Amino acid sequence: MRRLEVRRHSARQKPSPHLSQEGVDLARRVGATLGPFARVLTSPLPRAAETAAAMGFAIDEELARLGTDHLPAVGPEVDFSGGFLAWATAARAGSETAAHVTSQAALWHRLAADLDDGDSALLIGHEGIMEGGAVGSFPNANHTAWGPMCGFCEGVRLSHDGSRFTGIEILRVDP
C-alpha cells in the first residue's frame, strides 16, 4: 500500500506571500506528527515551500499543478463556503471545475503509483487542491460527510494499492 498526504499550506497575513509566525508555529506543530515521507512536493509559491520547511521536511520537487493557477477558472463555478460538496457539485456540472478535479486526480494517481509499496509522499498546495483532487479521486463518495474546505495545514490522506485509490481520510487540525 502507498499513501499520499495532501495538505494546504500554513497561515500567512495577506498580501504577504510568506508564512506568518503563527503559520510557522502551526506548521511545526503539525509537522511533528507527520512522516516519514519518501517524497515531498510543493507548489512553487513561497508559503507552500515554507510550510514544508517549518514541518521539518526537505522539498524534492516543486509542481506548478499544486499551485493556484486553477483558481481564476474555477472560482466562478465553486461556492468556496460549500466545502467538498460544492466542489463535487461544480465538477458534475462540467466546465473548468470538472477539468481541474480530473487533472488533480490524475496527478495524484501518477504520484502514488510511482511510490514503492509501503512509501508515502507529502504534497503541499493551496485551497482547492485538496478538495478538487479528493473529489476527482473519489467522485461517488459522500462529499457532504467530508465537511468544509480544508483550513491551514489540513488536507487528505489517500491509500493507493498501486493501481487505484482505495481509501481516503479527511485530515483536520485541532486549534
| Phi-psi domain of 95 (left: phi exceeds 0; alpha: psi -120 through 50; beta: other) | left
Report which DSSP code applies to 115.
S
Identity of the amino acid at 118: G
- What pLDDT, in 10s, does the model give residues 114-156? 999 999 999 999 998 999 999 999 999 999 999 999 999 999 9
pLDDT at 80: 86
> For 78-105, what is each residue's pLDDT tens digit?
888 999 999 999 999 978 899 999 999 9
pLDDT digits (tens, 9 = 90+) for 29-79: 999 999 999 999 999 999 999 999 999 999 999 999 998 876 667 778 888
What's the pLDDT tens digit per position in 7-16? 999 999 989 9
Q: In terms of residue numbers, what domain contains 87? A: 2-171
What CATH number is attached to the domain comprising 25?
A: 3.40.50.1240
Buried b (16+ CB within 10 A) or exposed e, 123-156: bbbbbbbbbbbbbbbbeeeebeebebbbebbbbb
Query: Into how many domains does the chain fold?
Result: 1
For 3: left if phi > 0, alpha if psi spans -120 to 50, otherwise beta; the answer is beta
What number is the average pLDDT over the span 155-173?
Answer: 97
φ/ψ bin of 36: left (φ > 0), alpha (ψ from -120 to 50), beta (otherwise): beta
pTM of the model: 0.94
CA distance 63 to 44: 6
For residue 42, what pLDDT is reported? 97
Q: What pLDDT is attached to residue 94? A: 78
At 88, list the grid cell: 463535487
